[in-house]
Structure formats: C-alpha cells, structure tokens
Amino acid sequence: MKNRILTTMTALGLLLTLAAASVQAQSGNKMEVNIPFAFMVGERQFPAGAYSIKQVARNDLKMLLIQSEDARLSALIQTHDVQAGAEPSKGRAVFHQYGDKYFLSRVWTPGTSVGRELYRSSAERRLAKEIETAQSRANLRNVEVLALMK
C-alpha cells in the first residue's frame, strides 16, 4: 500500500513539474515569411513556401519555432542572442547562401536590437569548409527575406 501511494505521489510530482515547465515557456511575436527557395534549418531541409517563425523561451533556452503554413513541417531549434547596430524597422529572416544551398542564419524582429542567431549545423560547416578550400569566399552571400508580423 505504501509503495502504491509513493508511486502515485512521485508520478503526480513529475506531472506537476512538467506542467510548470510548459507554463514557463514564453513566446515572442510570430512572423510570417514567404521564402522563395528551399533552405536548411539545422540538419533539416525545407521546401520554398510560406512559414511562420516564432521566438520561444523555455527556462534558459532561447529557441525558434519554424513551421510551414499547413503545419506539416516544423523545427524547434536553439539560438543565441545577436546584437544589431540599430533596431530594425521590419522583421526579416537572414540566410547564408553557398551556391544553391541556403541555411537559416538569423531572425530579426522589428522594435528590438537583439535578434536570434542559429548555431551553424554540421552540414553548413562542412559546406563552408568545402567552399573555402575549393574557391574564394565570394560564393558566400547573406540573403534577407522580409517578414510580416502577426
């Protein structure tokens, strides 16, 4: 009997802890972005199309939730702060372009000089190294796509 009560109390405590962690999750403004090319987020490929990008903070982790318009594709990826010289007037997503490959790099929301920067994935680091050894860095460009705030 005591074991059953202890097990029930432990399960209840775990459930309450998980619920509190979910309530602590804070989210920022949601941006709508129409991306005209296929791109990578971390190790995952996304086709061209309409996406929402939302900042999410859970405990000490700062993440971005990228989701297709139909909600069939999504990624939750860890980011870190990046400081802008001035507050952007429009939201935008910034991509690193290597030839015909695009990697989501930064997200800026209007009204704040602090943006979100994604950590480079192993696929992006590998491609960047190949380009550096094979050609000049002239093949690396930053491409910006403007966003609508929701």
8 A C-beta contact, residue 143 and residue 94: yes
pLDDT at 135 over 90: no
Residue with tokens 């002239």: 138
Between residues 134 and 44, the one the model is more confident about:
44
Does 17 or 53 have the greater pLDDT score? 53
The model carries a pTM of 0.74
66 contacts: CB under 8 Å, gap ≥ 6: 41, 46, 51, 52, 53, 74, 75, 76, 77, 104
Q: Please give the share of the chain, as a percent, with pLDDT higher than 90.
A: 47
pLDDT-derived band at 6 (thresholds 50, 70, 90) equals: very low
Rg of the chain, C-alpha, whole Å: 19
Which has more confidence, 2 or 111? 111
The pLDDT value given to residue 75: 95
Between the two ends of the chain, the Cα-to-Cα distance in Å is 53
Q: Are strands 114-118 and 74-83 parallel, antiparallel or unpaired?
A: antiparallel
> Which pair of structure tokens corresponds to residue 40?
């990578």
At residue 68, what are phi and psi to the nearest 5 degrees? -65, 160
| Rounded alpha-carbon distances, angstroms, from residue 142 to 61, 81, 91, 96, 102 | 26, 18, 16, 5, 9
